[in-house]
Amino acid sequence: MKTGCDKPLMLPIVEIVDENPHVKTFWFKHELKSKPGQFVMLWVPGLDQKPFSIAYDADGKFGLSIFAVGPLSSRLFELKPGDRVGITGPYGKGFSVQENKHYITVSGGYGAGPCGLLAERLADKNSQVDFCVGARNTDLLLFEDRIKKLSHATVHVSTDDGSKGHKGYVTDIVRNILETTEDKNNIIIAACGPEMMESAVLDLANEFKVDCKLSIERYMKCGFGICGQCCMDNTGVIVCKDGP
């Protein structure tokens, strides 16, 4: 599939995996060739079409990790392997994947999907990854075990209620890493999650003068800059084409 005004490719769901009590990953067999931080538009015929970040993409398969929060995602949770949905994309710019860098990925909730894919893509780039993931409680954490398998990555966990890892915000962990890292010029922060969290991440990036990429979520109809629903306020920035 090419970025642009594509006809949906009707793909069967090949597998559905429970990531936690609230998130399922829907697997599709297709050579998507996406970049970390990109997304696809998923269409359920007769219902709606929505954007979803790509959580996995390797070896001719890709996976979308989805939290049931609305009519379309709730309908997805009723589907079974073999059922078909429409997929277009991948869309968006994606995060940079650079060599010899120190990446700090920051994710909240299902924002861990794009950050997890980024961490995996950095495996052969001689780049260090601090994978910082936060959630309200242990049940909502994502991809801790997935990233622990990567030799170049260190996992940092926070929960609001203290049920696992640091009790408090994931940005507390980010601040500590920034304060204890001497070479600030080599750091790239990549964040995906709630906008209040991303705003706090941006404040830290500005305070410590480090590069920062934010993946911002917006409702959209097209995914490739036509509908205008995802324009950022008065800036003219179009989330689907210009982001992260």
Q: pTM for this structure?
A: 0.91
In whole angstroms, give the CA distance from residue 97 to residue 11. Answer: 28
The proportion of the chain whose per-residue pLDDT surpasses 70, expressed as a percent, equals: 90
In whole angstroms, give the CA distance from residue 118 to residue 129. Answer: 9
Return the pLDDT at 23. 93
Phi, psi of 105 (to 5 degrees): -95, 140
Residue 236 pLDDT exceeds 90: no
In whole angstroms, give the CA distance from residue 123 to residue 150. Answer: 7
* CB-CB contact of 23 with 110 (8 Å): yes
* CB-CB contact of 66 with 15 (8 Å): no
Q: How confident is the prediction for the chain on average, in pLDDT?
A: 90
pLDDT in tens, 51-78: 999 999 999 999 999 998 888 999 999 9
Phi, psi of 25 (to 5 degrees): -105, 125
| Span 144-160, average pLDDT | 96
* CB-CB contact of 221 with 238 (8 Å): no
* CB-CB contact of 119 with 143 (8 Å): no
Return the pLDDT at 68. 83
Residue 216 pLDDT exceeds 90: no
